Amino acid sequence: MLQVHRELRAALAAALEALHPGAGERAAFEKPKVAAHGDLAITAALQLAKPLATNPRALAQTLAERLQATEAFARWVAALEIAGPGFINLRLKPAAKQQTVREILSEGERWGRKPPTGQRVIVEFVSANPTGPLHVGHGRQAALGDAICNLLETQGWQVHREFYYNDAGAQIENLTRSVQARARGLKPGDPGWPADAYNGDYIQDIADDFLARKTVQAADRSVTASGDVEDWNGIRDFAVAYLRREQDLDLKAFEVRFDQYYLESSLYGSGRVTETVRRLIEAGHTYEADGALWLRTTRWGDDKDRVMRKSDGSFTYFVPDVAYHVTKWERGFTKAINIQGTDHHGTIARVRAGLQALGIGIPPGYPDYVLHTMVRVVRGGQEVKISKRAGSYVTLRDLIEWTSKDAVRFFLLSRKPDTEYTFDVDLAIQQNNDNPVYYVQYAHARIRSVLAQWGGEEAALAQADLAPLDGEAALALMLELARWPQVMEAAAADFAPHDVAFYLRELAAAYHRYYDAERILVDDERVRLARLALVAATARVLRSGLALLGVSAPDKM
């Protein structure tokens, strides 16, 4: 129905422009809040009534009369109704809705997607410290980042996926100290065990392999252990490489890929951090106080100025973040999106302030942020807080092993990122309609089963006569299919893959209702082919939506 929508929107824009110059830009359709009110709604009369100094309902009547006189509305709209204070509700002809099926079958997976725009965007996500296995929160971030990247690609963006490794700082020192203690035979609770050590069993695994002088191969490095418990640098390098490999395996199991891994340590090694500080000083936005160097971040909306360089000469953690984002800008990414936990909320203002203070042309809202909350895990009615392997949290690998990659992805994307979420392991493995991912996948498998029973050439369905698709359930299903391009566009613009998950559940429900209402493989060939065309189009949209979330669309269940 894309072409239908374009024709109707053009007619609406022309009618609005005639009523009030410039109003054509407001031409838009909404989904009525109550399905019984119609298929589409126009609210322009409510918006224009004040500037035109007229009654909105009377204006709606005038607009409706003009629209009914247009070729597009005469062709595609069955009825226009004025409702409430000035809404215009549209009821589309069956032929308009049937166009959706024709378009989907003709364009396939490309339907609703926009051509490349040449615009580049960098999306940074996961970015876990290489100090332990990926936990469930990292899993939520991985699912979010991957789905947002997929959505942006549907809108023509050239997407670069980046993982920022925090391989410098106190946490790496604690990791090294923990592995060294284990290598010396100490365990958590023993006298001499470091206060800030990591206690998970994975630390013992690293120590054992280090003492055995094994070689670990991560995505970007290969490190062979010296086996010397006094070799601090050797222990650090081996532990970081070991955990990077482990995280690589976690991400592979989750089917998440990255175009680049950027190392925090490289910002120090290349001199970018000190260069950024020098430029901020030269720009006149810093001052010395209490033996520390401060940045006047309050000039750009922060609640207080921030320390850049502490009295001991070390830099605070937001300084390399500023230097890192300068590299994003210099690499040509005019749009940048960071996906992080809500605990990073405080860094937003200071990073943006640092970028503005440099005065190099970076826009004020750079970068964009998507913040997510942590995830509670419930199994057997009880909250699960500890993984033996990790020591203090449930790992992403635990969750995948208990359920499946598909379930983890769909569940973690089924709520807004900033809302609390409880992952119910028992629900995720159920094979019934209460399990949302099963419900959607089953709709696809059900369609594939019908098409397999038919056994014909699906390509021929694009030429089917769709006129028999005039039943209530079929019309409702086609209207739901027609929403898909707008759902993709809005979800990409709002960084909201949960909207895709909601839509897929609604589409699956519409299909299940249709399946129950009309038998598909009927004797009448004309009716049979029309109904097969409808369900084949539905399968394509279900498959496309699931793919954006990183979830498979099985043919059998």
| Cα–Cα distance, 223 to 237 (Å, whole number) | 7
Instruction: Determine, yes or no, domain membership for 499.
Output: yes
| Cα–Cα distance, 460 to 377 (Å, whole number) | 47
Among 92, 118, 151, the domain-final residue is 92
Rg (the chain; Cα; Å): 28
Each residue's pLDDT tens digit, 363-416: 999 999 999 998 999 999 999 876 555 566 888 998 999 999 999 999 999 999
Among 218, 251, 284, the domain-final residue is 251
Instruction: Determine, yes or no, domain membership for 309.
Output: no
pLDDT value, residue 387: 57
Domain count, the chain: 3
* Burial of residue 525 (number of CB atoms within 10 Å: 0-12, 13-18, 19+): exposed
| Cα–Cα distance, 435 to 139 (Å, whole number) | 19
Please compute, for residue 555, the number of CA atoms within 13 A of its CA located in the half-sphere on the CB side: 7
User: Could you tell me the CA-to-CA distances from 214 to 9, 206, 218, 239, 290 in Å, in that order?
Assistant: 66, 10, 13, 11, 48
Instruction: Determine, yes or no, domain membership for 48.
Output: yes
Q: Are residues 438 and 541 in the same domain?
A: yes
Instruction: Determine, yes or no, domain membership for 298.
Output: no
Structural domain for 20, as ranges: 2-92
pLDDT value, residue 230: 97
Reduce the DSSP state of residue 338 to 3 states and report it.
strand
Q: Are residues 455 and 545 in the same domain?
A: yes
Q: What is the CATH number of the domain that holds 473?
A: 1.10.730.10
Among 92, 110, 131, the domain-final residue is 92
Q: Are residues 81 and 189 in the same domain?
A: no
Q: What is the CATH number of the domain that holds 78?
A: 3.30.1360.70
Low-confidence stretches of the chain (pLDDT beneath 70)? 386-392
Amino acid at 529: L
**What is this structure's pTM?**
0.91
Instruction: Determine, yes or no, domain membership for 232.
Output: yes
Q: Are residues 437 and 535 in the same domain?
A: yes
Q: Are residues 87 and 174 in the same domain?
A: no
Nearest to 61 by CA among 77, 39, 42: 42
User: Could you tell me the CA-to-CA distances from 533 to 178, 460, 478, 539 in Å, in that order?
Assistant: 61, 9, 11, 10
Nearest to 159 by CA among 173, 147, 171: 147
Q: Are residues 545 and 438 in the same domain?
A: yes
Q: How many Cβ atoms are within 10 Å of 472's Cβ, its own excluded?
A: 11
Instruction: Determine, yes or no, domain membership for 487.
Output: yes
pLDDT value, residue 34: 83
Instruction: Determine, yes or no, domain membership for 276.
Output: no
* Burial of residue 95 (number of CB atoms within 10 Å: 0-12, 13-18, 19+): middle
Instruction: Determine, yes or no, domain membership for 165.
Output: no
